[in-house]
Each structure stands twice: as structure tokens, then as C-alpha cells.
Amino acid sequence: MSTFTAFTKLTSKQAAEGIGLAMERLEPEPSGVGVFEMEDGSGLWEVGGYFTEAPDETGLSILAAAFDAQPFLISELPETDWVAKVRRDLAPVEAGRFFLYGSHDADKVPEGKIALLIEAAMAFGTGHHGTTKGCLLALDKLLEAGLECKNVIDVGCGTAVLAMAAASVWLHPVIASDIDQVAVDVALANVAANALGDKVNCYVARGFEHVAIEKAAPFDLVFANILKGPLLELAPHMAANTAQGGQAILSGLLIEQAADVIAAYRASGFDLSEQIDIEEWSTLILQKI
């Protein structure tokens, strides 16, 4: 069965969310719609729809005009076994003491490593992206320096790789949260696959806005592997929910975006300990002072 995609770009979050909702009322109806802030520093938002039938090009053109969006780029994708493709493309990842792998590579797990299983069907945020790997390396560096944590949260957890890594090295339960229910469902599946169900608690939450998170704060360590815009918005809330002397590991940033985030967090009471750059991506280790 062929799959069709339709993508456009807009200049504001409000317009992007509006056109995303409007796309869901098209006929034929898309099987999924995503709204994303672009990571290239342009300030643009991208909206994409996935269709199992050829989309209504006239309807999409009308939506683009109504929301002042760029014309939709419509493509037909060839039939592909995506899980098989991901399994071929995703080799195991080693980041310090951590080793991320799919079940098809279970025989490659080296001795002495903390192994985390991420299935190919749940492959976003697996560690192959420079930001996730950077966060794992940052955690490894803090562990090498003797960091001990009793209270950890992974904000915007995605597949919960970072929460599981923390839960694998410390005795106390870790919180993983995301604004998206699908991401939290994936996180729960990964946590179960790694037998960490009693050590990682997953919640749908925006930032720190959840009764269980508010009750657990302040945190010794906060992961936030998201994007520049949300990180900037989160800075004062991060300060309010991080313990004095606590650590924050931030990523989802292009190298050229790091300075703005560092400045915002310094203004909120953090000091930069280290910056880890992998390819075009940057990861920050900060301490609440």
C-alpha cells in the first residue's frame, strides 16, 4: 500500500497548530498529522500529514492560502517495510558506559556495559541522534565525577532513554514526562521491555505541570532534550524545580543556538559546567548555584 505525505511550513506556532487541526478534517482523512518547530534556527514551523490515499490537493491549497502557509509539498512514498529498514540502519550505540541496541543486535551487547533495549518500531530518540547521545555522555561524565542522585526527571522524555539510563545507575525511581500521549505510551513500552517498570514513572505533562512532579520537586538532576524555544521558556521553571547544587542536562540544540540557552539559564541561576558538541548538535551540563 502506498503512503502519501504533504508538508508545509509556517512562521508561527498558532498558525501551524491551526492548519494541523484543519488537515484532520480533510477527505480523505490523514492517518496522522504532526506539528514541529524546525531545528535549523529559522523560527519556522513544519506541519506534515500522512495519507493512505492520495490527498485532496485542492483542499490543501485552500488551507495553505487560509493560514498563510507555504504551498504543500506532496509526495508518494514507495512501499517499504520501515521496521526492517530501521533495523538495518540503526546500529548499536555506545555512549560512555551505556549501550543502546535493538533486539536484533542482542548478541552484540558487550560485557560491563549498561544495556538499554530500544525496539526498531520505537526508534525516535534512540541515541543515534547527536542530542540523545550527548545527554548520555553528559550523564556518564557526571557519574565519573561521583554524582549521586535520589530525585531525577526526564522532561520531554520521548522514548525515555535518558530516564532509563538514570534508573539503571541509581536506586531511586525516576520520573519521565512528555506533553504527547503517544510518546508516553512508547516510553511505557520501552520501560517495560527493560524491566524498569518499578523504577520509571511516566506522566503526560507540560514541563513540570503535574501533581506528581510538583510533589517530587526539587530535583537533583533534570534532563531536557527538547528544542531551543521550549528550553528558553522552561528556564525559570527549571530553576524553581531544581535543587540547590542540582544538575541540568539540556540538549536538542544546534551549536549556534547554545549561547542563547546558556545566557537564559545563567540569568535563572545556573552555571555552565560543560558543553559537549557532536556533529552540529550541542549538549549542556549546568549546575544550579
Q: SS3 string of 136-169?
A: HHHHHHHHHCCCCCCCEEEECCCCCHHHHHHHHH
Give DSSP secondary structure letters for 233-251. HHHHHHHHHEEEEEEEEEE
pLDDT value of residue 128: 46
pLDDT of residue 229: 87
State how far the Cα of 157 lies from the Cα of 191, in Å rounded to an integer: 12
Cis geometry, peptide bond prior to residue 230 (ω within 30 degrees of 0): no
Q: Which residues lie closer than 8 Å to 96 by C-beta, 6 or more apart?
A: 136, 137, 139, 140, 141, 143, 144
Find the angle CA(50)-CA(51)-CA(56) to the nearest 5 degrees: 115
**β pairing state of 3-10 and 73-77:** antiparallel
127-288 homologous superfamily: Vaccinia Virus protein VP39 (3.40.50.150)
CA distances from 7 to 46, 61, 66, 92 (A): 7, 11, 15, 31
Q: What is the average per-residue pLDDT within 260-289?
A: 96
Over residues 130-179, the pLDDT tens digits come to 788 999 999 999 999 999 999 999 999 988 999 999 999 999 999 999 98
Beta bridge partners of 66: none
Side-chain-side CA neighbours of 6 within 13 Å: the count stands at 30
Provide the pLDDT for residue 126.
45
* pLDDT tens per residue, range 171-205: 999 999 998 888 898 899 999 999 999 999 999 99
The CATH architecture of the domain made up of 3-77 is: 2-Layer Sandwich (3.30)
Cell of 285: 551540563
- Mean pLDDT lowest among 103-117, 177-191, 227-241, 270-284: 103-117
User: How confident is the model at residue 63, as a pLDDT?
Assistant: 96
Which of 93, 3, 86 shows the shortest CA–CA distance to 51?
A: 3
Model pLDDT for residues 6-64, shown as the tens digit of each residue? 999 999 999 999 999 999 999 999 988 888 888 677 889 999 999 989 999 999 999 99
Question: Who's near 167: CB < 8 A, 6+ residues apart?
Answer: 152, 173, 174, 196, 199, 200
Which pLDDT band holds residue 123 (cuts at 50, 70, 90)?
very low
Q: Is the pLDDT of residue 219 over 70?
A: yes
Residue the block writes with cell 551487547: 109
> In this prediction, what percent of the chain has a pLDDT beyond 70?
90
Q: Where are the domains of the chain?
A: 3-77, 127-288
Identify which has the larger pLDDT, 125 or 186.
Answer: 186
CA distance 85 to 89: 6
Asked if residues 283 and 135 have their Cβ atoms less than 8 Å apart, the reply is yes
Q: What is the mean pLDDT of residues 231-240?
A: 96
Q: By three-state DSSP, how is residue 260 classified?
A: helix
pLDDT for res 186 = 87
**pLDDT confidence of residue 218:** 97
pLDDT digits (tens, 9 = 90+) for 53-95: 999 999 999 999 999 999 999 998 766 555 555 555 556 788 9
What pLDDT is stored for residue 124 in this prediction? 45
In angstroms, how far is the first alpha carbon of the chain from the final one? 56
* Residue 181 to residue 186: CA distance in whole angstroms: 9
Residue 225 has pLDDT above 50, yes or no: yes
